[in-house]
Every structure is written in structure tokens, then in C-alpha cells.
Structure 1
Amino acid sequence: MYTVFQPKQIIIGENSLKKLGESAKKRKITNLLVVIDHFLTLSPLDYDDKIKEILKQEHIDVTFFSDYRGEPSLQHLRAALTIANKETITGIAAVGGGSAIDIAKAAALFYKNPQMDWDAIPKQESLDRLPLIAVPTTAGTGSEATKVMVITDTEKGIKMNPGHSDLIPDTAILDSALTSSLPKNFTAYTGIDALTHAIEAFVSTKANIATDQYALTAIQIAGRSLPVVYQDGMNMKAREEMLLASSYAGIAFSNASTNLAHAAGRALGARFHIPHGLSVAILLPLVMRFGLQASPERYAQIAVALGADASKDVYELAEQSIEIIENYCDEFQIWKDALKYIHLKELENNIDLLAQDALEGNGILTNRIVPTKSDIRKLFLDLIEKLKKKKVIKQV
């Protein structure tokens, strides 16, 4: 027996942001706090003004919170809650990337439960929270469809990422117009992050028949749409498909878990301040190589979903799944961009710390092969060798 959790409602389509007022009214929201990425409020985007007009039609009051930068922290959460309490809000919406959605999730919960301990969140049978709407502006995190939120305690230097099915937003609005301004490099980073979510969910030991369908569909959609949108950011059909792939991947990994690529990628990103999608992308083919022998049949299905010829031998297809991802990393300048952030000697000097950080992260135990510290050290050593080769090619 298994249970799959997902948003109650997903609205998809270009300019579907216009449904925000209708969605808020359906949730009986009369005073909405909108957590919004600051750049979206600037000219010529002016999404705060657009949202005001949309909500005005439904007679819904609105307050905006955009005073956050980088990864979401307890300070950001406290600032959002201060505004929420002052305005006596009745619902929360997030319009932005993963940070906006994580802050909104946390604010919706702690508005109703100010004394709740973070460690207690996953242990609750149910959570009382404000109605919650998520409008992602990147096709990558899938946070609009997941039960997880990530908030950093900067004083302790730790990331808290409790999960609970009641943290899944009530409504996810997938508006491709909101992703059209995403730069080419971040289109690639977030797109491969979504692809990694789906691949890891599919090979997770917690995978089931339902998460498999979401994961494989996400892989198939991303495989055909990401190369298109990378070359043409104004292709709205491809943008829309990537948002759908990201949400499907979010549902898949929220229920089946991510694995080693995310555990190691989070560690690498935190130490070297690398964008999350980029840190995951450079590790994904290496992690796939590590797990290949444990489930060649699953990796073969991944290759087919990515467009490989299904008539080939299983082991040949399994190998091809890695080749396809490595080709993406070449095509999307992933290795080149990684070298902008990573000093190889510094990476080499921090391998033990990185391996320990990864080992303590979520997703280790759901890997088909549960890695040891030695395995993760080798993973980072392999990454160094890979980057050295790419650096030489770049210089030549």
C-alpha cells in the first residue's frame, strides 16, 4: 500500500496568474500576503501592480513581502510573519522561485503555530496552517508541489528541511509567462534540477507505481523541452512544458525522495556558494554511474524516456542514460560554469568535510546503493578529475 500527496489544484497555461484572485476567493481568502521576489516588482515587470489589479476584481486586500535575498532564513520568516500579523492576513501566496515558496510555506504554518518546534513538524498527524497558493517563476524546484520546505538558521549554520503533507500548497499556478525572463544559464540549472528530481525519484528505494509515472513523464517532457527552451527562451510551449515537468518531478520526489546527487549537491553548494541546480547537475552523471549496477533496468527506462531507441540492450541503454545527461552538461555549459565557482585545489582540500556533510543529508538511505563516506569521497575525487579534463579542453 502507498499514498501519494500532491496539490489539490494545478492551473496551467500562459497568463494563468490571472486566476490568482479566483483561487484565493475559492480558499475564502480576504486579505492575502504575497511573498514575491523583489525583481518581479521592478519595471518593466511590475508584477505587484498586476497582482493588485487581479485581486481587486475579487475584492481581496493584498500586502507584499519581498525583503529577502538568497536562500530563505529564519530572519526572512520572522520579517514575513511580522507583516502578516500586523495586517491580520487570511492567506498566503508565493510568486517567485523556491525561496519565495519556502518562506510562504513556513509563514502559513507558523502564523497559526507560533510556538511549534521545527523538529516536531514531521511528527504531527495534521498541521493547521493558512490557505496557501504557489506561483513558481522557475521550472526547477518543484516546491509548489512538494511537502518539504528549507529554511536556514544562519546563527547555527544549519538548514532545516522538515516535510509534512500539509505543507503542500493548496493551489499551484503554472504560468509560462512568468518564466520567460529567466536567463539562459538559470534555465539550464533549474531544468536539470527538475530532471534530477525525477531521475532520483525513479531510482529511489521508496519509488512506487504512482511516483514512477510522474517521474517518467517528467523525464520525457524535460528531455524534449529543455534543449528547446535553452536555445529559445521565448518558446512559451516549451516553457509551459518545463513548468509541468518540474511540478510532476516535485510530486515524484516529494513522495519518493531524492538521493545522493542532492545530498552531495547540497553539501557542495553550501561550501562553494554554487547555485543549487548547477551543483546537482555536475554530480548527477557521476551519481548515476555509482548506482548503475544496482538497477540497470531503471536506468534503461530513463534513457528511453529521454529519447533513446527502446530496442537496444538494457545495459547499453543504461549506459546511454548517463551519456545523454553528460551531453546536456556539455550543451548547457554546465562544466564551464562550474569552474567559475570551484577552485579545484580547494575542492580537493575539503573532500572529507563535503563527504561528511553529504552523508548527513537527506536521501542517503533511499539510494539503491547506500553510500559510505569512502564512496562519497570517491564521488568528489571523480568530480575533480572530470573538471580538470574540462578545464584543459577549455584552455585548448
Structure 2
Amino acid sequence: MSNVFLIPRTIISGNDALEKSGSYLKKCGNKAFIVTDNMMVTIGNVQKLVNVLDKQEIGYELFAEINSEPTDQMVYQGVKTYKETKCDFLIAIGGGSPIDTMKAIGAMLTNPGTLADYMGKEIATLPPALIAIPTTAGTGSEATQFTIISDTQTEVKMLLKGAPLLPAIAIVDPELTLTSPPNVTAATGIDALTHAIEAYTSQKSQPMSDTFAVSAVKRVFKNLLKAYKNGKDIDARKEMSVAALEAGIAFNNSSVTIVHGMSRPIGAIFHVPHGLSNAMLLSECLKFALAGSPERFCDLAKATGIYENNMSDLQGGQAFITEVEKLCAQLQVSTPEQFGVDKKKYFDQLDKMAEDALKSGSPQNTIRNVGKEDIINIYKALWK
């Protein structure tokens, strides 16, 4: 069977990557539409980008209206502002939310209809050039053809996809992640780990995506706790930035599975940040998926040094999941209750959440068959 493997056309990575990117940005257009959030403005990351643009005499329009759960209304406002200000390419700087919003704005600039029209369909028409500059090490959105946007009418997180959504340039500068607080470092780092594990255990996995996925898992295990405990550890930050990029490349080509499918409804209904909702689900979902392919989970135990001689594939897989649980505990991952989710509303929404998870298509990529009752039982298990 043949496989298609997609990555950004240009990846600029390492310390000072943003500063060195000017000549590449110059080729993209004359006026950039910068998609970001107010925090990026406050801490000075946007100014670092503006300095690069000024040196290249590139104009810009700042659109800093994004929050942690981007909606269709933010996208439509962005499209309107882009057209009014006569920009000709887009740059997102921030976490996954600004990058996802930028992709959706780009898609709506060149494709007819509404975002909801593209649920389950491929976005086909190329947008203006998309430039992604992540400031967290987790979402991998800088390397993917996917975007997640909340539908404000249905409270559903829409998964939109298509090769045109793949950024033309990804600028991965670990120095931009130094300002991430510990809770963000933890949540986004677990997001990267989830991407890598799901990519490797997906029904759509392929040899090239496997290589990136395994490398990402190893980097996360070696470096996430270091970055969490000492945010100024530039070596750990650099390794985590690479891990997030690798994991993004991996799942871009093999898809995510049950964790992401189930996390989106939690985020859409209860406004739990994406990385954290993944982290809440990770252990229970992996324990469910293990029976579908113990050998794949055992591979990850071997790659990370967790496997011990004479372990069966099942024992190796279980040992790997136990280490994932230990890492989440060290990172103080919240439960839904600790986050402040209302228990009654949570249980009232179980049926809708399970249906929405299945509609996303991601659970069906899981290496073990997943039914609605399986998903409901996993959701219930989160409330301990």
C-alpha cells in the first residue's frame, strides 16, 4: 500500500530562528495579517516578530482577538479585517489556538460557504501563504493540515482538514517558549506526547510517521519534566520544541485516535484547554486501546527504556502506560472536578459528548474498535 507524507515546505528551527527568518517572510508578501492573542502582545513576542518585519519593510495588521478556544465567529471577524486592511499573507504567533485560527481564516478567504460546510470534507483551494510561529511546545499545528474551531451554535469542535492548511513556513524558535508557565508547559507537553503515541498506535500509521512518533515520545520523556521544573532550561525547551514538531509531523500523516476524539467535546462544552483535556483522558484511553495492539505499546516501552527482559508485549505496554501515568502525576494534571467542571452537567452531557466524539472520526482510527458505550464508560472513569 502506498502512503502520502506531507510536511511544511520550509521549517526554520533552533535558537534565533525567528530573527533569521526575515528573508523567507519577505518572499511571502508585502503586508502580513498577524493572528495572535493579547498575552503574546503583553510579553513581547509579537514585538519580536514586528522587529523582523520592520527590517524587511513588510507591513502588518495585528489581529489579537484569539483566546484558548477559538470559535467560528473569531474566524469570520478575522476574514473581514484581513480583507478591509488589504493584507496578502498570514502569520500566526502563539500556541495552537492562534495557529488554528489563522488556518481557518486562510481557508475562508479562498473557499466558499461557512466553516461548518467543511466538516468531514477536504478543504481544496489554497489560501494565501500561511506562516506558523509556535510559542508553546505541544500542539504541533505548525506542521499539520488540520485545524480545530468551535461552532458557537452547536457547541461542537469542528475538525477541518486539507493539504492547503499546511503552513508554507514553520518557524520553531525555542526561545519563544521560555515564557510558558509550568501549567501550560505541562498541558502542551502532554499534548505532544499524546500526538506521538496516537500517531504510532493509529490504524493509519506508516513507516515514516512511526520514525517521527517514536523520536517525539523519547524526547518528551527525557525533557518535559525538566522544562516543567525549570522554564529557563533552554536545552530542555529546545528538545521539547523539536518533540512537538516531530509529533505534529507524525499525526499529520497518520491521524490521532480516541484521546483527541474524546477531548474535543470536553473543550467545546466545558472550555477546558485542549492540552489539558487530552491529559485528563490519556491514561484511561491508552488502557482501553492497549488490547488492540499490545506490541505497538510495547515498542514504545522499549524505545523509552521502560521495557524489562522477559516482559510479554502486554506487560511491556502496561509498563509504558504506567510511566505515562507517573509523568502526568508529576506534572499535576487536573481532573475535571479539580478544573471546576460541574458534575451534574458533565454527566448530563455524556450522550452528546460521546456522539460528538464519534462524529469527529478520530476514535475510529484507534487500533481497537470503539463504540459509543466504550466512550461513555471512559468519560465516567474520569470522575473519581
After TM superposition, the score normalised by the length of structure 1 is 0.90
1:380 equivalent in alignment to 2:379: yes
Equivalent residues in 2 for 1:87-102, closer than 5 Å: 87-102=85-100
Deviation at 1:305, TM superposition (A): 2.8
Q: Structure 1 pair 256/307, CA: closer, same or farther in 2 (3 Å)?
A: same
SS at match of 1:369: coil
On the 8 A contact 2:96/2:141 being kept in 1, the answer is yes
Which of 174, 197, 217 is matched with 1:199 structurally?
197
Segments of 5+ residues of structure 2 without an aligned counterpart are none
After TM superposition, the score normalised by the length of structure 2 is 0.93
**How many correspondences in the alignment?**
382
On the 8 A contact 1:34/1:95 being kept in 2, the answer is yes
Deviation at 1:95, TM superposition (A): 0.4
Aligned to 2:283: 285
Deviation at 1:48, TM superposition (A): 3.4
Equivalent residues in 2 for 1:93-112, closer than 5 Å: 93-112=91-110
Aligned to 1:326: 325
SS at match of 2:363: coil
Q: Structure 1 pair 344/326, CA: closer, same or farther in 2 (3 Å)?
A: farther
RMSD: 2.1
One-letter amino acid matched to 2:171: I
1:301 equivalent in alignment to 2:322: no
SS at match of 2:11: strand
Aligned equivalents of 2:335, 2:354: Cα separation in 1: 23
Which of 190, 205, 208 is matched with 1:210 structurally?
208
Aligned equivalents of 1:271, 1:348: Cα separation in 2: 12
Q: Structure 1 pair 32/197, CA: closer, same or farther in 2 (3 Å)?
A: same
Query: Percent identical across equivalent pairs?
Result: 34
After superposing the two structures, state which structure 1 stretch, 69-78 or 221-230, moved more. 69-78
Deviation at 1:362, TM superposition (A): 2.7
Aligned equivalents of 1:50, 1:379: Cα separation in 2: 43
Q: Structure 1 pair 377/118, CA: closer, same or farther in 2 (3 Å)?
A: closer
Aligned to 1:367: 366
On the 8 A contact 1:223/1:305 being kept in 2, the answer is no
Aligned equivalents of 1:349, 1:155: Cα separation in 2: 19
SS at match of 1:23: helix
SS at match of 2:366: coil
Aligned to 2:149: 151
Q: Structure 1 pair 245/74, CA: closer, same or farther in 2 (3 Å)?
A: same
Segments of 5+ residues of structure 1 without an aligned counterpart are 388-396
Q: Structure 1 pair 11/311, CA: closer, same or farther in 2 (3 Å)?
A: farther
Equivalent residues in 2 for 1:231-246, closer than 5 Å: 231-246=229-244
Deviation at 1:118, TM superposition (A): 5.1
Deviation at 1:174, TM superposition (A): 0.8
Aligned equivalents of 1:346, 1:105: Cα separation in 2: 32
Q: Structure 1 pair 124/199, CA: closer, same or farther in 2 (3 Å)?
A: closer
One-letter amino acid matched to 2:180: L
Deviation at 1:162, TM superposition (A): 1.6
Deviation at 1:343, TM superposition (A): 4.3
Deviation at 1:124, TM superposition (A): 5.7
